[in-house]
Amino acid sequence: MSEKIVVFTGAGVSQESGLRTFRDMGGLWQEHNIEDVASPEGFERNPAMVLEFYNQRRRKLGEVEPNAAHRAIAELERDFDVVVVTQNVDDLHERAGSTRVVHIHGEILKNRSSVDPALRYPAGGKIDIDLGDLCEKGSQLRPDVVWFGEDVLHYPESVQHFRDADRVLVVGTSLTVVPAAGLIRYAAAKAEKVVVALDLDTVPHGFHFLRGKATEMVPQVTDAWRRGRRP
């Protein structure tokens, strides 16, 4: 059987395709605190503003493409059993060719009911969500993304993937967003573990730290693994 690789990605990977991160925004969007557009309370106060914030992000996603890091991760599937566990809500991993992607913070191109999280829908041909767009229960639709104060998705499934992995590659995350960052502690002691980032306050125990851009370092890591070498 093929070795199992878990790739854990964060905003830094998508940033290199041209998508802005919350950190890029300095905590503000059009003079509003990020929490105002990324929390259930903010949505209740001003749903129109919150929907516009995510509509802009959806439109921007149509203008960008997967980068070299996304493509290198997807190409690992030729030789390994690969699962991508991502904090990113975009579809760039899928567009690059990855076939097993677990979105623990949701997917921005899907809609969900604002009263029943189980009611999720593909966006279809309509990019924007407008006030008055309702789910089958009559509640306003919202983006299917995890907001501050909400539970991450697929956590037990992701924990098991980390436990089963022969190799773990962490890319483009500061490892400060909880509980997502806690997933890496479930990686087996015997697993080969690599983290790629521009900067880290603390390198996780047992991980080999490669400092650099994802688009430069990830292809080097994946090429080494495909050649049977250590990066």
Q: Which residues are annotated as catalytic?
A: 105
Q: What is the dihedral of CA 198, 202, 206, 211, to 10 degrees?
A: 20
- 50-56: list long-range contacts, CB under 8 Å, 24+ apart: 50/142, 51/128, 51/129, 51/130, 51/131, 51/142, 51/143, 53/29, 54/108, 54/129, 54/142, 54/143, 54/145, 55/127, 55/128, 55/129
Task: Dump the DSSP string for 88-138.
Answer: --SSHHHHHT-S-EEETTEEEEEEEESS-TT-EEE-TT-----TT-B-TTS
Is there a contact between 110 and 144 (Cβ–Cβ < 8 Å)? yes
Find residue 143's DSSP bridge partners: 111
Show the tokens assigned to 24. 């890029």
CA–CA distance, 41 with 97 (Å, rounded to integer): 36
What's the full length of the chain, in residues?
Answer: 231
